[in-house]
């Protein structure tokens, strides 16, 4: 989440925390101020972010502004690409979906389509098991959770297919296909503050 915020623009930690609260990102991840600052320290240590400025306003404490490095940019993109098609870690998928605008629309459509195929396979297996259980006389009261899981999968598949259709490339010949605005400016083409000239 920190890398994604800094991919939008350079920020200091307080601004990042404020944005996560304004956007209600606690829906996706647990946000604690102490842990947040520890994560920033770890990301800087690993070379994924770097300091670009330190300023002070009046009697307030100094504020350090950070930027994402090329390594950080690559790490964010790799994580989103890995988690977006995954069906095994729902919590990670939600964050990856929220940050999928960091990928180009074609890549997002391809990854989500792959995830949909995986969901279809799992849904088919669930249907077979449910049918087998019912044939064996298992009472429905013991199967309602499975039914709910299947219903959620069906909704997930339908919604994802709709999103993939909206992600059709600009200039698509498909009549009536809505095209989503997609993508954000990236820092990746700027000089890397984590490296000295010539490195």
Pick the CATH number of 2-69 from 1.20.58.1290, 3.30.499.10, 1.10.10.10, 1.10.630.10: 1.10.10.10
Q: Which of 23-37, 47-61, 171-185 has the lowest mean pLDDT?
A: 171-185
Ordered alpha helix ranges (H), the chain: 2-8, 13-22, 33-45, 70-83, 90-98, 105-135, 144-166
Instruction: Specify the higher pLDDT residue, 187 or 54.
Output: 54
What's the whole-model pTM score? 0.78
Tokens of 81: 């690409």
Is 97 a residue whose pLDDT tops 90? Answer: yes
169 has a pLDDT exceeding 90: no
pLDDT of residue 167: 86
Q: What is the DSSP letter of 106?
A: H
Render pLDDT for 102-117 as a digit per residue (tens, 0 to 9).
998 889 999 999 999 9
Residue 95: per-residue pLDDT: 93
Least confident of 120-124, 144-148, 191-195: 191-195
The two tokens of residue 63 are 């504020």
Domain positions in the chain are 2-69, 104-166
């Amino acid at each position: 989440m920190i890398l994604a915020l800094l991919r939008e623009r350079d920020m200091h930690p307080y601004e990042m925390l404020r944005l996560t609260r304004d956007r209600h990102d606690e829906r996706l991840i647990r946000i604690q101020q102490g842990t947040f600052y520890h994560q920033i320290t770890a990301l800087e240590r690993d070379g994924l972010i770097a300091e670009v400025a330190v300023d002070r306003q009046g009697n307030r404490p100094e504020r350090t502004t950070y930027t994402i490095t090329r390594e950080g940019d690559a790490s964010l993109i790799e994580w989103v690409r890995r988690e977006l098609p995954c069906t095994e870690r729902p919590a990670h998928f939600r964050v990856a979906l929220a940050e999928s605008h960091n990928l180009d629309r074609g890549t997002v459509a391809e990854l989500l389509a792959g995830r949909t195929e995986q969901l279809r396979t799992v849904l088919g297996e669930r249907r077979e098991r449910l049918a087998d259980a019912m044939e064996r006389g298992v009472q429905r009261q013991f199967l309602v959770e499975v039914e709910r899981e299947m219903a959620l999968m069906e909704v997930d598949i339908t919604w994802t297919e709709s999103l993939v259709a909206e992600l059709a490339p600009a200039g698509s010949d498909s009549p009536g296909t809505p095209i989503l605005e997609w993508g954000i400016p990236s820092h990746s083409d700027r000089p890397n503050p984590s490296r000295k000239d010539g490195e």
